[in-house]
Amino acid sequence: MFLSVWMVYPTVRTVLRSLYSDKGDRFVWLSNYKRLFTSDTLFTAIKNNALWVLIIPAAVTAVGLVFAVLVERVRWAVAFKVAVFMPLAISLFAVGVIWRIMYQQDPDRGAINAALAGARGFVSHDGVLSRARPSSDALEGSTKRGFTLKQPVRAGGVAVLGLTAIRTPEIPEDAADAVRPEPLQGGIAGVVWRDFKAGGGTPGRVERGELGIPGATVELRNADGKKVDSTETKPDGTFAFDKVADGQYRVSVGSGTFAEPFRGVNWLGDRLITPAIMFAYIWVTAGFAMVIIGAGLASIPRDVLEAARTDGASEWQTFRRVTVPLLAPVLTVVFVTQIIGVLKIFDLVLAIAPGSSTDDAATLAYVMWQRSFSGQNLFGLGAAISTFLLVLFIPFLIINVKRFRAEARG
């Protein structure tokens, strides 16, 4: 009786409801199913569900298998199990909130992009400015090639490199008032500054109230164009090259000064949103797979593994030809369970995907909720989607029932 009230009746009622209009006042036969397969959003949801079924069960099973094997070989097995299994104690919606924050594009807010920015800092150098242009005809070049003084400079000379079209937010916080340095005996001194003064000023001349550009890369090149030295500017924009040999040199603001800073990967954009949600799902379900497969590993007779090793099998051969075949029933349980789980994925899509990429990340379960209960009130279409999901579930339910019967007979 309880099963009929809570399982059978809602299922039959949903199937019947899918044959009526959204308001439930007209019998429309299969019109709702036609809408299901002709809507662009629903077509995307079907495609996404297919990707989930093809990728996630195999990925979760593989990750769980690797973790289960590792647990048997590390000293800190208990801590490892707790760390991997802990996400299962959190609801999927809460997991989605966590990963929504982790995936933020701004490296100052999103942990993943912050880690990428830190790793990127070891191999590349971010420029202090994103764009600029010469403030006078004394300079030539571009942000990609750098800006070079047209007039060569000799030892004892002063190089004045004025830039403009610099956005105020990009000026480094430690920037100080620019100063024109004194000539340096046996060397070349200079200044790189923002040649802009409120109320007007003289281009190419360092004036009071104008700021130096700290951290700018300055390059010194000989008459052949070969770089002989480089340095960075101080807070007031000044720089110096000591002990310069006789000859003419070209001084330039290097292109590295204008390297675009790391803006972060748009994990929540339309192209990466589905893989991002998939990764979050693997993170939260790997612990389940590890525990189930770990129990299967514990039941494998050790003498079988030792016999394989005694016969000369390597660890990889033992794992591939002995361990995995013996674990096949357990791996099947995990695999089929994950297929059923991904067919009804909903919480993570709702929590992670922003409004701009919701349609790109949509799954059938999410679209069913969206059409029926988010204010659209398309109950006929929502019931059709639910029925379609039920049809997709049936083959895997049959597989599970047959497996349970086989185990009961065995």
Band of the pLDDT at 252, cuts 50, 70, 90? Answer: very high
3-state secondary structure of 20: strand
- Helices 364-373, 40-71: crossing angle, 10 deg rounding: 130
> How many other C-beta atoms lie within 10 A of the C-beta of residue 241?
23
Q: Which run of H or of E encompasses 98?
A: helix 92-102
Of residues 124 and 374, which shows the higher confidence score? 374
- Region label for 7, one of left (φ > 0), alpha (ψ between -120 and 50) or beta (otherwise): alpha
Coarse DSSP helix, strand, coil percentages of the chain, rounded to the nearest 5 percent: 55, 10, 35
Rounded CA gap, 99 and 343, in Å? 21
Rounded CA gap, 188 and 249, in Å? 9
**The predicted structure's pLDDT at residue 201:** 81
Strands 158-164 and 188-194: parallel
Domains and CATH numbers, the chain: 39-116+267-377 (1.10.3720.10), 133-258 (2.60.40)
Lowest mean pLDDT among 10-14, 85-89, 256-260: 256-260
Q: In what order do the strands lie in the sheet with 139-142?
A: 139-142, 146-149, 250-253, 217-221, 227-232
Q: Is the pLDDT of residue 391 over 70?
A: yes
Rounded CA gap, 100 and 117, in Å? 18
3-state secondary structure of 371: helix
**The predicted structure's pLDDT at residue 361:** 95
Of residues 188 and 198, which shows the higher confidence score? 188
User: Taking all residues of the chain, what is their mean pLDDT, rounded to a whole number?
Assistant: 90
pTM of the model: 0.77
Query: What mean pLDDT comes out for the span 221-237?
Result: 92
Angle at CA of residue 166, ends 161 and 168, nearest 5°? 125
**The predicted structure's pLDDT at residue 8:** 83
Q: Is the pLDDT of residue 312 over 70?
A: yes
> How many other C-beta atoms lie within 10 A of the C-beta of residue 381?
24
**The predicted structure's pLDDT at residue 410:** 59
3-state secondary structure of 333: helix
Q: Which run of H or of E encompasses 30?
A: none
